[in-house]
Amino acid sequence: MSALWSVGAGLLLLLLWVRHRGLEAVLVHHRWVFVCFFLLPLSILFDIYYQLRAWAVWRLHSAPRQHAQRVRHIQEQVREWKKEGSKRYMCTGRPGWLTVSLRVGKYKKTHKNIMINLMDVLEVDIERQVVRVEPLVSMGQLTAYLNPMGWTVPVVPELDDLTVGGLIMGTGIESSSHIYGLFQHTCVAYELVLAHGSLVRCSPTENSDLFYAVPWSCGTLGFLVAAEIKMIPAKKYVKIHYEPVRGLQKICEKFTEESKKKENSFVEGLLYSLDEAVIMTGVLTDEAEQSKINRIGNYYKPWFFKHVEKYLKADRTGVEYIPSRHYYHRHTRSIFWELQDIIPFGNNPVFRYLFGWMVPPKISLLKLTQGEAIRKLYEQHHVVQDMLVPMKSLEKSIQTFHVDLNVYPIWLCPFILPNNPGMVHPKGNETELYVDIGAYGEPKSKQFEARASMRQMEKFVRSVHGFQMLYADCYMTREEFWDMFDGSLYHKLREQMNCKDAFPEVYDKICKAARH
C-alpha cells in the first residue's frame, strides 16, 4: 500500500511541476518526461494489441479468407468516389501520424480517404520461396512470422514498424542490399486497385510497366493491396566482424572493397567523425562460439551504435555472433541514434535494466504528440535524411555532408542498383554499386539553415546522379525533382491509367515546395 502512495505522490508532484512549467515548455525542453511517463507505456499497449491481433489471425487462419472481401471493399470505395464525380484526389485513410516518416501529410485532410485495413501475412509458398503479404505488414511482424519457419526475406529494413507498403511505395534498404538491391528488388509481384476500381496483378512478365513504375511512386498510381516477396533460408546467427578504420580515404577504400565481396552477407559502416569509422561485415551461420554470442536485442543491452563505438575507442577489431533477428533489428531500440536526443540517459545501464524493456517509443506516437513547437524546432534544427549516391562518389559525398551538416554518427549502407525501368536507376546502362548515406540528428555546422542547407545537399546529390529518399523533407522545385528522378515511365502510366484526376503527382505529395 505504501508503494502505491509513493507512486501516487510522485505522479501528483509531476503534474504540479508540469502545470508550473507549462505543458508546451515541458514537451519542448524536457520531452523525456512525457516520453518516459506516457509514451513508453502507451507504446507497450500498442505492441500488445498488435501481437494479440496477429496471434488471433494466425490461430483462426482468417487472413487469406478475409483478404478478398477487404479488397472488394476498397474497390467499392473507389467506385463510390467515381460516382460522386471524382471531385477530389484519393489517398489511403491511414492517419498520417501512424507512418514512420517524420513528414506530416496535410493532404489527408483534403483528399478522399480510402480505408485500407490490410495488415496480415497471407501465404508462405515454400516451393516458390515467396511470401505473400498485405501492405501494412511490418518488418517486425514479418520476421517474427517467418524466422520460426526457417525463412526470412533478403532485405529486412531496420526499424520494426516499417511496413511492406511503405518500403515498396517509398523504398527500403539493409546491409544485405549490396547483394539483393533495395527492398523493391526483392519483390516479384504486386496487386493494386487502380483509379477505376479494377484489381490488377503486375510482375516482371505481367503488366511489367506498372511493376517497375510502382516503387517510389508513393501511392500515386493505385492502392497496393498485396505483394509477393522472395524468401531465403534463415540461419541462427550473424557472425559480425568489427574493424575500426581511420582516415577518410582509407575508410572509403575499405568500405568499397568489402561492399564488392559477395561472400559478405552484410556490410555496414558507422562514421563517428570525418576520419573515424567502424566497418562491419557479417556472414550468416548456424554455428557459433558460445563465449562470443551477443544477444544485442535484449532490452538491457547497450544501444548498438554505442556498442560498436567501443571498438573504435579501444582501437581493436572484434568478432561476435548475434542472433539473426537481433541483428536485423539492431538499431530499433535506439531508433538508430535518434533516441539519445529524446531520452539523453537512455543508454545508462540503470535506465536500461529498469525501463529498457519499454524502449523504443512508437515513432507514430512521437509524431502524434510532438505539437507545432517541437515540429518547427525539429524542422529547423534537426535532420533525418538518406541520400543514395554512387559508391565512386562516397568520399566527396561524406565531405559534403560534413561541411553542410556535420552530423555524426553517419550510417553507410551499400546497395546494388540494377538498370531496371522506373524512377530510380543508374545513369549508364549497367548495374552500379551505390551507397546510402544516412544523417540523423542535430547539425553542428555553424552555417546550417534547414532550407538553404538541404537545397545545397540536394543539388550535390543530383550532380553525382544520386537520389534522395522520399520519406524525408524535400526542398526541390518540380524541375529539380524530375531532374533527379526519371519520370518517363511514371508519367506515361499516369496518362494511360487515368491517374491524373485520381491521385496527386508524387512531387505534389511529398515535396515541401508543393505542400501547403
Tens digit of pLDDT for each residue in 479-511?
999 999 999 999 999 999 999 999 999 999 888
pLDDT band at 367 (very low <50, low <70, confident <90, very high): confident
The per-residue pLDDT for 291 is: 95
Tens digit of pLDDT for each residue in 124-142?
999 999 999 999 999 988 9
Tens digit of pLDDT for each residue in 396-411?
999 999 999 999 999 9
Q: Cis peptide leading into 409, omega within 30 of 0?
A: yes
Query: Got the DSSP string for 271-321?
Result: EEETTEEEEEEEEEES---GGGB--TTSTTSPPHHHHHHHHHHHT--EEEE
Q: Take residue 29 and report the three cell numbers written for it.
A: 525542453
Q: Take residue 203 and report the three cell numbers written for it.
A: 510482375
Q: Take residue 307 and report the three cell numbers written for it.
A: 556498442
The per-residue pLDDT for 435 is: 98
CA 411 – CA 416 distance, rounded (Å): 17
Tens digit of pLDDT for each residue in 177-192?
999 999 999 999 999 9
Tens digit of pLDDT for each residue in 190-230?
999 999 999 999 999 999 999 999 999 999 999 999 999 99
pLDDT band at 7 (very low <50, low <70, confident <90, very high): very low
SS3 269: strand
For CATH 3.30.465.10, the residue range(s) in the chain are 64-233
3-state secondary structure 163-177: EHHHHHHCCCCCCCH
The per-residue pLDDT for 27 is: 52
CA 385 – CA 387 distance, rounded (Å): 6
Are 426 and 465 within 8 A, CB to CB?
A: yes
Q: Give percent of the chain above pLDDT 90.
A: 68
Which of 477, 363, 503, 420 lies closest to 46 in space, CA to CA?
363
Pairing state between β 112-114 and 90-92: parallel
| Arithmetic mean of pLDDT over the chain | 89
SS3 470: coil
CA 489 – CA 475 distance, rounded (Å): 23
Q: Is the pLDDT of residue 41 over 50?
A: yes
Are 245 and 270 within 8 A, CB to CB?
A: no
Query: What's this model's pTM, rounded to 2 decimal places?
Result: 0.89
In the CATH hierarchy, which top-level class contains the domain 64-233? alpha beta
Q: Is the pLDDT of residue 145 over 80?
A: yes
Q: Is the pLDDT of residue 17 over 50?
A: no
Measured N-to-C along each axis, helices 394-404 and 248-259 cross at an angle, to the nearest 10 degrees, of 130
Tens digit of pLDDT for each residue in 96-120?
666 666 666 677 788 889 898 898 9
CA 463 – CA 465 distance, rounded (Å): 6
Q: Which residues pair with 489 in a beta bridge?
A: none
